[in-house]
Amino acid sequence: MEILWFLLAMGLLAAVIAPYVRRRRGGIRLAAPGSPDAADPAAYGFVRQEELDIRMPGPDQDLLDVLDVVQRTQDWRAASQLLAGTDKEGEVRWQRVQAFAGAASLELREKPGVGGAWLRAWRSEAPKDAGGAAVHAEFLVQQAWRSSAAGSDDFRIILEEAWTVCGTAALLAPGDPVPYIVELAVARGLGYPREQFDQVWAKVIDRAPAHMGAHLAALHYTCEKWHGSRKDADEFATAAAARAPQGSLLAALPLFAVYEHLPEVNMVQSFYQSAVVTKAVEGALFAAHAAHPADPMLPHVQHLLVLFLVRCERWAEAMNQLVRVDGHVGALPWTLEQDPAAQYTVYRALAVAGYEANGGSPATLPR
């Protein structure tokens, strides 16, 4: 099977993928959207690369409708109303806060000094709006990570402002875990000591003990490249999975821990056949199967499963995940790349090639 993997990968690198490989977590880049070398996904009903939505991991039509109104009219009120009507303890509120913040951040990057004016108006015209404060805090976090080198003066200044806005947002919505989830990212960037981090984490789990998004944010802090170790991350993920309520996606957390510690360059295929990876993948598959189909965090798990299942040469299982998430790519692992849609499309093409090489076809793919 290692020979098959090599031949498939080399064939796609020559015919589909741009003539270079990015050696970062095994990252690969596709040919430019619409180029004659790009794979045609039409046979499986997949969305073309240039039409993939990079804003969200899965569908949220209410959010899309509101984002359209806000960005078209530059009026923040629809966003405020949507967040005010979104359950505080659930995952959806966190994802919507991230989406609004991300939209404003991207606008500002595309139109420096002008983009994202609706968020500035939201904060100035409604300073006591809890949703606006949460979006502002998350916006600052995203700006810090996108526009400044980690550890630089600008990076710290932006995150310190985010910390202040997190405190404001928490006061405006005492039962809302989102301001503290945002602060977890601040903690990672500013290097909170473990005791201070634990205090923030306690406030999160007091409000939403099974919040998957919060656990992912906390997992980042515990990783070796930030303030913990591989052992810390593994223990955190394993403990969360063990106490996960029935149907919770927290059982998939160990797979995210494995992903956080993937080697920068790994050309040994046997790594993906190892017991550690296999156990984490099986746990994530179980969690995805047991979760409610409408769980807003399910696409996050499914996207990460695509990467691992492809690398594990489990082609049919990878295809089964692809048919469920295709169309949206705003999730790990794709969002760490400069072109998330291109990176996702590479793995989709590899999955199709492996699936067909083992007798699969559009007619045999379950829907």
Distance separating alpha carbons of residues 328 and 143, to the nearest angstrom? 22
Q: Is 74 found in the same domain as 51?
A: no
Residue 309: what are its φ and ψ, rounded to 5°? -65, -35
Query: 33: which 2 tokens?
Result: 């959207």
H or E element at residue 17 = strand 17-21
Tell me, what's the pLDDT at 308?
Answer: 96
Report if residue 233 sits inside a domain: no
How would you class 336 by CB atoms within 10 Å of its CB: exposed for 0-12, middle for 13-18, buried for 19 or more? exposed
Q: Which of these three, 183, 209, 235, is where a domain ends?
A: 209
Q: Is 76 found in the same domain as 54?
A: no
pLDDT class of 142 with cuts at 50, 70, 90: very high
List residues bridging with 328 in a β-sheet: 53
Between helices 298-311 and 315-325, what is the axis angle to 10°?
Answer: 150
- Predicted model pTM: 0.83
What mean pLDDT do residues 263-278 have?
Answer: 74
Q: For residue 177, which of 214, 212, 133, 141 has the smallest C-alpha distance?
A: 214
Q: Is 316 found in the same domain as 197?
A: no
Q: Is 177 found in the same domain as 303?
A: no
Report if residue 232 sits inside a domain: no
Model confidence at 238: pLDDT above 70: yes
pLDDT class of 348 with cuts at 50, 70, 90: very high
CA 347 to chain CA centroid, nearest Å:
16
More confident residue, 178 or 36: 178
Model confidence at 126: pLDDT above 50: yes
How many structural domains are present in the chain?
A: 2
40-91 tens-digit pLDDT: 567 899 999 999 998 889 989 999 999 999 999 999 999 999 999 999 888 9
Report if residue 335 sits inside a domain: yes
Q: Is 366 found in the same domain as 266?
A: yes
Report if residue 29 sits inside a domain: yes
Kindly give the pairing relationship between strand 28-30 and strand 17-21.
antiparallel
Tell me, what's the pLDDT at 30?
Answer: 39
Q: Is 73 found in the same domain as 41?
A: no
Report if residue 27 sits inside a domain: yes
pLDDT class of 92 with cuts at 50, 70, 90: very high
Range of the domain at 17: 1-58+252-367
Q: Which of these three, 156, 182, 209, is where a domain ends?
A: 209
Report if residue 79 sits inside a domain: yes
Buried/exposed 36-59: b ≥16 CB within 10 Å, e otherwise? eebbebeebebbebeebbbbbbbe
Q: Is 273 found in the same domain as 151?
A: no
pLDDT class of 9 with cuts at 50, 70, 90: very low
Answer whether 1's CB lies under 8 Å from 286's CB.
no
Peptide bond into 57 cis (omega under 30): no
Q: Is 102 found in the same domain as 30?
A: no
The CATH code of the domain that includes 103 is 1.25.40.10
Share of the chain above pLDDT 70, in %: 86
Q: Is 96 found in the same domain as 179?
A: yes
Model confidence at 364: pLDDT above 90: no
Report if residue 330 sits inside a domain: yes
Q: Is 118 found in the same domain as 102?
A: yes
List residues bridging with 30 in a β-sheet: 17
Query: 19: which 2 tokens?
Result: 């003539």
Model confidence at 356: pLDDT above 70: yes
Q: What is the DSSP string of 24-84?
A: STT-EEEPPTT-TTS---GGGTPPPGGG-B-S-SS--HHHHHHHHHHHHH---HHHHHHHH
Report if residue 241 sits inside a domain: no
251: left (phi over 0), alpha (psi -120 to 50) or beta: alpha
pLDDT class of 226 with cuts at 50, 70, 90: low
Tell me, what's the pLDDT at 201?
Answer: 95
Q: Is 95 found in the same domain as 158?
A: yes
282-300 tens-digit pLDDT: 999 999 999 999 999 999 9
Share of the chain above pLDDT 90, in %: 63
What mean pLDDT do residues 90-113 have?
Answer: 92
Q: Is 184 found in the same domain as 93?
A: yes
More confident residue, 145 or 202: 202
Model confidence at 113: pLDDT above 70: yes
Which amino acid, one-letter code, is at 332?
A: L
Tell me, what's the pLDDT at 1?
Answer: 44
As a whole number, the mean pLDDT across the chain is 85
H or E element at residue 2 = helix 2-15
Q: What is the DSSP string of 212-262?
A: HHHHHHHHHHHSTTTTS-HHHHHHHHHHHHHTPPTT-GGGGHHHHHHHHT-
Which amino acid, one-letter code, is at 148?
A: S
Model confidence at 225: pLDDT above 80: no
Q: Which of 99-108, 193-202, 261-270 has the lowest mean pLDDT?
A: 261-270
What mean pLDDT do residues 99-120 have?
Answer: 92
